Amino acid sequence: MKLKTRLVVAFMTITLVPILLIYMVVTGLSNYQAKAFSKAYGLTETIDLFSGNSVQAFSRLTLRYQEKLTEELTAHPEEFEDPVYLEELNKELEKYYAYLIVRKSNDILYSGDEADGEDAEVIQQLPQYGSAEEMEEGGLYLDGDSQHLIKQMDFLYPDGTEGSLFLVSKVDDLLPEVKAMFQEMLISGIMILVIAGLVMAMWIYRSIIHPIGKLEEATKKIRDGNLDFSLEVEDEDEIGQLCQDFEEMRIRLKESTEEKVQYDKESKELISNISHDLKTPITAIKGYVEGIMDGVASSPEKLDKYIRTIYNKANDMDKLIDELTFYSKIDTNKIPYTFSKINVSQYFKDCVEEVGLDLEAQNIELGYFNYVDDDVYIIADAEQLKRVINNIISNSVKYLDKKKGIINIRIKDVGDFIEVGIEDNGRGIATRDLPNIFDRFYRTDASRNSQKGGSGIGLSIVKKIIEDHNGRIWATSKEGIGTEIHFVLRKYQEVIQDEQNTDN
């Protein structure tokens, strides 16, 4: 559920639902109390206590008692001079929230009101004998500092004196049942609002506050450098989407951090390898130069050998520095390529002749087998492709362990591609290591490779160049027998292009 929808639902729940519930409670309590009130006081009809018409309620309460007193006045008028009897009647009348006033002629024989001030005010306003017939059915309503409902019943005492009996109800206050009903309604309304508020608070906490809290906790973990956690996404609303985006950011940040750690590790390893590889030729150069300075190279032949060795070591250093420079261009993706149309047969023939001189000097046999026609061309960077050949052969030479080293180069025509295979009879590569030999700084045997030298990036450079030529490279090997590295490049289809131009 979207956050906007949640807010609408929350508004509806916190406003309309409590209003509806409160209305139902008020209606139910009002009907229940009205029926209970009528039943308790023996009323034949239901009174609407919630209407606020207290005069009607008080009038109905004393109606039956009024009928009873009328009968008593007719049958036993003499008893209404007895204070004890009148007190008993008044106590019974108090159950109906009224009191009794008895008047004989102009004298008040009895008043059941305990508030003297109000009693005097009411007595002064009592109607004269004979006014009962003029009163409305409900009685006489007296308005003043205190409102009263008066019902008058006239009669004659046994001695012929005029008498009046008054039922007085104080109507400026609510009935206790009505007060109780309002209290129950108030308590019920408060409970409904509290429960609705608690439900909404729990819902909002679960759907909004809780995920924000988890997001805050995740932010603190990232601030402290902890990326090894997972932020679970529970909902699909805006906050859930935010959590999902945050989780993706954490994953990318973790990957970036791991890549940086790996890069730093590789950089340190590269520096270590380069330092080792530079130290070896520098030490040799320094030794041979000192030999020349000390006169050890006494003959021209020996001097020529020393100088040639110094030159070769300087070339090794130059190649190493060149490899390091090229590696930095790979990292910044700024390898300079100059693509041109190259004849396959002629190009690889020249490469083999150039490489063959160095291999011959190292007593390594080089075999060249070309199975491609003379008119086959490719689009490639001649200089970078030569770097590929030299790096693969240099790597093969490094791990030749036979007395007579052999390296074979085979060029094959495979449909739309040419395949180049460079095979050696070295010690081979273990099956578990074979998929990783093109990774940067990967060494199948670190202890042995450190003695052989090399930066550990030669084959990774090869892979990068071949892939930039839209080619593919792989290796096969058998331990103790040798390794063969293959790569394929797409042929330049000049004939097909000419036919397409003719058709157009």
- Its pTM stands at 0.48
Burial call 180-196: b when 16+ CB within 10 Å, e when fewer? ebbeebeebbeebeeeb
Listed in sequence order, the residues at least 6 apart from 59 whose beta carbon sits closer than 8 Å to its beta carbon are: 138, 139, 149, 151, 169
Radius of gyration (Cα) for the chain, nearest Å? 57
Longest dimension (CA), the chain: 177
Number of helices (H), then strands (E), belonging to the chain: the values are 14, 12
Question: Which DSSP symbol is given to 332?
Answer: T
pLDDT (tens, 9 = 90+) of the chain, 504 residues, equals 666 676 777 777 777 777 888 888 877 777 776 676 666 555 555 565 555 455 666 777 777 788 888 888 888 888 998 989 999 998 888 887 788 899 988 888 888 876 555 567 788 788 888 877 666 555 666 666 667 888 888 899 988 899 999 988 877 665 666 667 777 778 888 888 888 878 877 877 777 777 788 888 888 988 888 888 888 766 677 777 788 888 888 889 888 888 888 778 777 776 777 777 778 788 888 888 888 888 887 788 888 888 888 888 888 788 778 777 777 776 666 777 899 999 999 999 999 998 888 888 888 999 999 999 999 999 999 999 998 999 899 889 988 888 889 999 999 999 999 999 999 999 888 888 888 888 876 655 544 444 444 556 788 889 989 999 999 999 999 988 999 999 999 998 865 544 445 554
Residue located via tokens 């090869």: 462
Residue 328 three-state SS: helix
d(CA 146, CA 123): 13
Task: Judge contact between 182 and 34, C-beta under 8 A.
Answer: no
For the domain bounded by 54-173, which CATH number is listed?
A: 3.30.450.220
User: How far does CA 264 lie from the centroid of its chain?
Assistant: 32
Q: Say which CATH topology domain 338-499 has.
A: Heat Shock Protein 90 (3.30.565)
Q: Are strands 162-170 and 482-490 parallel, antiparallel or unpaired?
A: unpaired
- Beta bridge pairs of residue 240: none
Burial call 483-500: b when 16+ CB within 10 Å, e when fewer? bbbbbbbebbeeeeeeee
User: Distance of CA 80 to CAs 89, 98, 162, 200, Å?
Assistant: 10, 17, 12, 65
d(CA 451, CA 124): 130
